[in-house]
Amino acid sequence: MSVRVARAARAWARSVSGRRGSSNWPRPPPAAVDVAALLREATAADGGSQDAKAAAGRREPGQCSVLLFPGQGSQVVGMGRGLLRYPRVRELYDAARRVLGYDLLELSLRGPQEALDRTVHCQPAVFVASLAAVEKLHHLQPAVIENCVAAAGFSVGEFAALVFAGAMEFSEGLYAVKVRAEAMQEASEAAPSGMLSVLGQRQSRFAVACLEAQEHCRTQGIESPVCEVSSYLFPDCRVISGHLEALQFLQKNSSKYHFRRTKMLPVSGGFHTSLMEPAVEPLAQVLKAIDVKKPLVSVHSNVDGNKYMHARHIQKLLLQQLVSPVKWEQTMHAIYERRKGTAFPQTFEVGPGKQLGTILKSCNLQAWRSYSHVEVLEADEDPEQPL
């Protein structure tokens, strides 16, 4: 962990704990509060937490909804353009400018793509665009929010899911994402590393491949080489992260391990592996200062696919997530497992891209048939909202 990142995180933690409620800290815009309030009102209308669970159980499964929040890699120049005419979206981006210290909306709309792709920029950009997409969904289909029974986010998307569910305030969640992105960027610069998407088959030998890639790195003079599965996407599809030398070895020897296809991902480091260990402490300092609450709807953790149980559980697993594989396939099974003949909930991917929908189709075709994507790229047609 660098002295600069650590000092910034500690200074912010002290300032928050010393001025909780101060108007100097950018407060969350009405959009974030309204969604959480809507969820609280739905719970209260059902007569409290226990009665709410019973009411959710009585609700027809096909009337329920699930929200999925994308992660890094889904960013694209122009995202957010299709959201600006909806209430309070600009307030989200105004609040983001105060938290981040730069114009995130300008970067999201006009790029350049190379700047948007940087970890320090794309993580906040995807986070804000996703919550702005929730605002659009709330405006067009408020019942989807009222009937939401579960949410999950891929990597940084998990922070957006937690803000949506009322576990964090928008501005505090965004600041945590900012520190996380800066620390991950810095950790990735310590050694040449990356992420390799691997489409395998039943006989693919992922564990053996990683071990042999590590051994190859040792022959090249790399000490403590890292090559690990960093994401479980869908059956026989993984992301492997680690030193670039290891990933290049896997690409050259893909047939030996029965890999059908490999592709380097456009990211700057070996995320969700032990290479990200230096990023843990800066994020820990910020999370200690945030008033984390139990989510108002079920949010599933990337670490094990299970629901978060309480605030300390969230703080612990968000740190563990940095150095652990994203178990997205397992999360999809946890959310959509049900008796035969039971209807599936409506699923909405809120944010740029449709990658999570594609993965859902490979994990559970029946659940995917009730999937929709909230568009964030379409041209703004409202003449009263010039760009």
DSSP string, 73-85: T---TTTTGGGTT
CA gap 71, 351 in Å, rounded: 9
CA distances to 45, 117, 274, 298, 328 from 278, in Å: 45, 21, 9, 30, 24
CB atoms within 10 A of CB 319: 18
CA gap 215, 210 in Å, rounded: 9
Residues 174-201: b if buried by 16+ CB within 10 A, e if exposed: bbbbbbbbbbbbbbbeebebbbbbbbbe
CA atoms 346, 374, 145, 97: torsion sign: positive
CA distances to 42, 69, 137, 360, 361 from 350, in Å: 21, 5, 8, 14, 16
Can you tell me whether residue 323 is helix, strand or coil? coil
Q: Which of 272, 298, 301, 370 is catalytic?
A: 272
Q: Which of 65, 108, 155, 254 is catalytic?
A: 155
Helices (DSSP H) in 151-253: which residue ranges? Answer: 157-164, 170-188, 206-219, 244-252
Question: Who's near 374: CB < 8 A, 6+ residues apart?
Answer: 133, 134, 136, 137, 348, 349, 350, 351
Active site residue 230: no
Active site residue 193: no
Spatial contact of 124 and 131, defined as CB atoms under 8 Å apart:
no
CA gap 331, 358 in Å, rounded: 15
C-alpha R_g of the chain: 21
Give me the active site residues, please.
155, 272
